[in-house]
Amino acid sequence: MGGKAVFIAHCILNQNSKALGFASRPGLVEWLIDFLKQGGCVVEQLPCPEMLYLGVNRWWHTRDQYDTPGFRRHCRRFAKMVAGLMEYYLRRGHTIVLIGIDGSPSCGVNLTGRNPYWGGEPRASAEQYQVVEGMGVWIEELIKEVERRIKRFKVIGLAMDLPGFDLKETLKMLEAELEG
Amino acid sequence: MSLRDSRSYKVVFAPDYVINPENYPDMPKTLKIYEGIKNAGYGIVKLPAIDLPEDQIQDWIEIVADMIEEYQKRGYAIALITIECLEDGGVWLSRLRAELESRGLKIPKVVEFSRGELEKDENLFSKIKSIF
């Protein structure tokens, strides 16, 4: 696993950036950071475009609500910054890995959250948040920029906020992905 | 879907060194500050490596200042960790201060760690625990 620069979703190091109701820990997701550091990885933290756009008191959002030209432009600004940081690590001989949060409207890699009817008066239940296949808006914009500038990189989605999350299986999968 | 919220409302802005000491050949290879933050239950906003190309630095300073502004406005406890023997504390401290001052923002509490503390680390955990 050494020689990898692993770019992780912002909230993995800072649960205080989550939309209210979704911080599963006081500070950081320790099992993942410990795993990456024990494996000799450099860990880089992505910006959180949700928090930087709507703040920490934002309502829950779906991908549909973030899928606007303005939010995408906001994401592209950060994508350029992150791609520059990835190039910094490439010049030092690292390989690049990106870890997103499956189920997230912005950070999802394989799964995101949708509901085309959310909007207006803020009344919603978690059950109305439909987890479906697809990427979050931030990861989508980031990958576009990174694909343009960097030839080889790996993208991993972790469903750590979704029901049925299996830590043991996830660690096994991560080990295999990061060895390869 | 989980609906509990366990956040600590405590965030430290930390140099890259705290998470990636391997990026700093002349520095102690210790994760003790990270371990202390983890045990204290603080969130971390990690700044990029201190030797990032000059043309990239200001963008990162601006978004760090944006986060400081937002957390201050919402009443979160925040602090800035610096490393005495790294250039500008390892966090471009003078430039970050200038950015915050230009916005009329309060400079967060600065908690500095010396090389001696990193090497001996006897009181490191209690120092981190007493940040807030």
Q: Is A150 helix (H, G, I), strand (E, B) or coil?
A: coil
Q: d(Cα A81, Cα B14) in Å, to the nearest integer?
A: 19
Q: Is B82 helix (H, G, I), strand (E, B) or coil?
A: strand
Domain that holds residue A101: 4-179
Q: In chain B, what are the domain boundaries?
A: 10-129
Interface contact B4-A24, CB threshold 8 A: yes
B chain contacts of residue A27, beta-carbon cutoff 8 Å: 8, 10, 37-38, 40-44
Topology (CATH level 3) of domain B10-129: Cobalt-precorrin-4 Transmethylase; domain 1 (3.40.1010)
B chain contacts of residue A3, beta-carbon cutoff 8 Å: none
Please give the helix or strand (H or E) that residue A4 lies within, else none. strand A4-8
Condensed to tens digits (0 to 9), the pLDDT of residues B9-59 reads: 999 999 999 999 999 999 999 999 999 999 999 999 999 999 999 999 999
- State how far the alpha carbon of A17 is from the alpha carbons of A63, A113, A127, A165, B132, in Å: 17, 18, 22, 21, 18
ipTM (interface predicted TM): 0.96
Condensed to tens digits (0 to 9), the pLDDT of residues B56-113 reads: 999 999 999 999 999 999 999 999 999 999 999 999 999 999 999 999 999 999 999 9
Look up tokens 């960097």; give the residue: A150
Q: Is A131 helix (H, G, I), strand (E, B) or coil?
A: strand
Q: Which residues pair with A105 in a beta bridge?
A: none
Number of domains in chain A: 1
Interface contact B37-A27, CB threshold 8 A: yes
